[in-house]
């Protein structure tokens, strides 16, 4: 009798210590913003669309894998420490019985995935854990679910798995595409996918003129919509930029990002361009973070006229891979429209490029800040669509408010080519150069800029002015693309003196030889602008291709540049690349 009393008093002390530990755990959990509660079996079963089976067997189960209870989930912590002082006597009696010769019968538990929920025997589990046991005997009833749980899953994980279970219950993609990774790590994203699947179902019903089940639509969506984008995500390295995220995470992020861009720009941005922007703007990789900080610092400290602009070649990093001759370089063509009659010449030239490239025209009209669309704007929009309709080219027209050259550069960032009409060339004075809108566009825009003339050009005989700089290399790349893709004869002109002239020409020739295109090479001496225009006339060229500004901004403002001379004197379209 004395021995039993002693064991009972020991059990009371264990319970009191367990209650102190439970209070301490709860305080820590609140400080960390975490949950320390047991999971409710019924809630979890409903959330995961789980179904009980008749399978029941006796076996040992790990105590650490017991994460919830059928009816006592508010009476214990996640580690089964007691939360109620009123349980002291019962808890102590259970410990006395468990440490005696007779012991206690196995508990009753449900199994969902790799975790267990106590149906009967909560105090036995609590005592066993307090006595540092690692396992306990249980009659286990198996519960089937599409999304199994694990012992380490938190309440947040449960929310995600519940959403996944609901998604799979509706779509059956785990059956139809069993190898697919359908995990998402951010709550609320499966709703976006279900909306896409619903739209896919409506399209299929219209196309096939029959009822389409949701699982059928889900399989078609997975194959035709999701998989091509997932492949882009992988090939562009987005998974490396965001370790810990799944392909479906990044796909859902891409959906919302493209929706925001559409609201901002007025048109759909290509998936590969949006993927590159996510990486550039949000990647936590040290190199990308340093690049973003560096750009912000330079932008904050550099006056706009002295900005150097984006690095050469930046515009095509996300749009092109060497050897990608099967696709178009200029898919999206931006054309600023002011309503001035001369600006329609730019649209005419842009339509020619779009037809050859299978691209689309993106018209942009910029209103002064604070102004709203009026009858004149509506008339401009109608004329834009009327001119484009005759060619059958896809087009969008967007109206924004702001400073013209800034709005053009902001929108050009999302396109492959910008086509403008230069009406008033820059006057040869520093103040005029510094404040000229076209100069700001040429400096700030990363992509190629085609400057159209009043006379429409068939763009059949390009002349490349090459001098071996990084921006000239970009012009060389574009010239090689046009000559190869459009099947055009290309003339390459180097205007230099001395030994380096031949080396510069050889540099261009080495690159173009690999492209297997027909090229005429010319080496001349003299004043660059005059020589270039003379050769263009002799060759009957109808397009000049050049690199962008090479001199530092301050020097170019003070003394001018070759590009400025061409802009003032040339009557041919000028394709400026950087």
Domains of the chain listed by start with CATH number:
2-155 (3.90.1530.10), 172-282 (no CATH), 314-577 (3.40.50.12370)
Least confident among 122-126, 318-322, 505-509: 318-322
Given a cut of 80, is residue 98 above it in pLDDT? yes
Torsion of CA 311, 313, 318, 320, to 10 degrees: 180
Residue 451 Rama label (left phi>0; alpha psi -120 to 50; beta):
beta
**Distance, CA of 171 to CA of 159 (rounded, Å):** 18
Q: Which residue has the higher pLDDT, 420 or 322?
A: 420
Residue 51 has pLDDT above 70, yes or no: yes
Taking the C-alpha atoms of residue 283 and residue 261, their distance in angstroms, rounded to an integer, is: 18
**Residue 322 pLDDT exceeds 50:** no
In angstroms, the CA 330 to CA 492 distance is 22
pLDDT in tens, 53-92: 998 999 999 999 999 999 899 999 999 999 999 999 999 9
Vertex 76 angle, CA 73 and 78, to 5°: 85
pLDDT of amino acid 560: 47
Residue 59: per-residue pLDDT: 93
Interatomic CA distance for residues 8 and 96, integer angstroms:
6
| Mean pLDDT estimate for the chain | 86
pLDDT at 310: 60
In this predicted structure, what is the pLDDT of residue 430?
52
pLDDT confidence of residue 556: 44
Kindly compute the dihedral angle of the four CA atoms of residues 96, 100, 105, 108, in this order, to the nearest 10 degrees. 40
Which SS3 state, helix, strand or coil, does residue 431 take? helix
CA 130, 135, 136: angle at the middle one, nearest 5? 90
Tell the residue number behind the tokens 């305080």, with chain if given: 27
State how far the alpha carbon of 529 is from the alpha carbons of 232, 436, 561, in Å: 43, 20, 10
User: pLDDT value at position 295?
Assistant: 60
pLDDT digits (tens, 9 = 90+) for 139-182: 999 999 888 888 888 778 888 999 999 999 999 999 999 999 99
- Better-predicted residue by pLDDT, 195 or 326: 195
pLDDT at position 156 is 80
Phi-psi region of 420 (alpha: psi -120 to 50; beta: other; left: phi over 0): beta
Query: How many angstroms separate the CA atoms of 330 and 270, rounded?
Result: 12
Sheet with 115-120, strands from edge to edge, namely: 39-40, 66-69, 115-120, 107-112, 135-144, 51-62
Give the number of other Cβ atoms within 10 Å of residue 465's Cβ. Answer: 26
pLDDT of residue 343: 79
Biggest alpha carbon–alpha carbon distance for the chain = 120
Q: C-alpha 67: how far from its chain's center?
A: 37
User: To which H or E segment does residue 345 belong?
Assistant: helix 343-357
For residue 333, what are the contacts with CB-CB under 8 A and spacing of at least 6?
350, 353, 354, 357, 359, 360, 361, 362, 415, 416, 417, 418, 419
What is the per-residue pLDDT for 299? Answer: 56
**Is residue 187's pLDDT more than 80?**
yes
Written in H, E and C, the secondary structure of 367-379 is: ECCCCCCCHHHHH
pLDDT of residue 426: 65
Q: Is residue 553 predicted with pLDDT exceeding 80? A: no
> Is residue 117 within a helix (H) or strand (E), and if so which, with residue range?
strand 115-120
Angstrom distance (rounded) from CA 107 to CA 122 = 8
pLDDT digits (tens, 9 = 90+) for 104-131: 899 999 999 899 999 999 999 999 999 8
Q: For residue 273, what are the CA distances in angstroms to 156, 223, 229, 331?
A: 32, 21, 12, 11
> Which of 563, 559, 539 is CA-nearest to residue 549?
563
């Amino acid at each position: 009798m004395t021995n039993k009393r002693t064991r009972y008093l020991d059990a009371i002390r264990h319970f009191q210590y367990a209650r102190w530990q439970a209070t301490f755990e709860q305080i820590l959990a609140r400080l960390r913003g975490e949950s320390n509660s047991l999971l409710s079996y019924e809630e979890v079963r409903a959330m995961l669309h789980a179904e009980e089976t008749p399978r029941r067997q006796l076996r040992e189960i790990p105590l650490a894998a017991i994460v919830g209870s059928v009816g006592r989930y508010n009476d214990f912590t996640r580690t089964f420490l007691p939360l109620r002082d009123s349980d002291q006597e019962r808890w102590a009696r259970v410990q006395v019985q468990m440490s005696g010769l007779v012991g206690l019968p196995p508990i009753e538990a449900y199994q969902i995935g790799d975790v267990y929920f106590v149906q009967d025997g909560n105090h036995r589990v609590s005592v066993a854990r307090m006595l540092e046991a690692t396992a306990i005997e249980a009659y286990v009833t198996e519960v089937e679910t599409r999304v199994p749980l694990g012992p380490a899953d938190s309440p947040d994980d449960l929310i995600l798995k519940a959403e996944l279970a609901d998604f799979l219950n509706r779509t059956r993609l785990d059956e139809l595409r069993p190898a697919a990774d359908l995990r998402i790590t951010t709550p609320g994203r499966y709703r976006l996918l279900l909306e896409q699947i619903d739209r896919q179902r409506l399209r299929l019903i219209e196309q096939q003129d029959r009822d389409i089940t949701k699982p059928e639509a889900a399989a078609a969506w997975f194959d035709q919509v999701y998989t091509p984008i997932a492949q882009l995500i992988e090939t562009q390295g987005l998974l490396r930029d965001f370790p810990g995220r799944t392909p479906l995470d990044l796909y859902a992020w891409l959906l919302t990002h493209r929706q925001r861009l559409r609201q901002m720009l007025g048109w759909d941005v290509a998936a590969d361009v949006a993927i590159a922007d996510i990486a550039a703007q949000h990647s936590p990789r040290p190199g990308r973070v340093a690049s973003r900080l560096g750009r912000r610092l330079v932008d904050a400290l550099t006056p706009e006229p002295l900005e150097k602009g984006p690095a050469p070649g930046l515009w095509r990093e996300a749009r092109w891979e060497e050897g990608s001759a099967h696709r178009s370089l200029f898919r999206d063509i931006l054309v600023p429209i002011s309503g001035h009659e001369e600006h329609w010449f730019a649209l005419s030239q842009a339509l020619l490029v779009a037809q050859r490239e299978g691209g689309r025209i993106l018209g942009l009209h910029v209103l002064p800040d604070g102004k709203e669309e009026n009858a004149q704007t509506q008339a401009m929009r109608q004329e834009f669509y009327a001119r484009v309709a005759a060619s059958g080219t896809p087009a969008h027209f967007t109206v924004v408010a702001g400073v013209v050259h800034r709005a053009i550069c902001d929108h050009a960032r999302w396109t492959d080519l910008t086509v403008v009409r230069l009406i008033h060339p820059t006057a040869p004075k520093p103040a005029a150069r510094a404040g000229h809108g076209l100069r700001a566009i040429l400096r700030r825009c990363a992509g190629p800029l085609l400057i159209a003339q009043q006379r429409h050009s068939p763009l059949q005989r390009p002349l490349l002015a090459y001098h071996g700089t990084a921006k000239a290399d970009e012009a060389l790349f574009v010239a090689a693309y046009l000559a190869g893709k459009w099947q055009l004869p290309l003339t390459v002109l180097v205007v230099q003196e001395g030994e380096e002239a031949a080396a510069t020409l050889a540099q261009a020739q080495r690159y173009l030889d690999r492209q297997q295109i027909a090229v005429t090479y010319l080496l001349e001496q003299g004043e660059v602008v005059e020589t270039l225009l003379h050769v263009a006339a002799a060759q009957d060229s109808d397009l000049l291709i050049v690199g962008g500004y090479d001199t530092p901004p301050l020097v170019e403002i003070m003394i001018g540049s070759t590009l400025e001379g061409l802009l003032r004197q040339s009557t041919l379209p000028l394709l400026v690349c950087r």
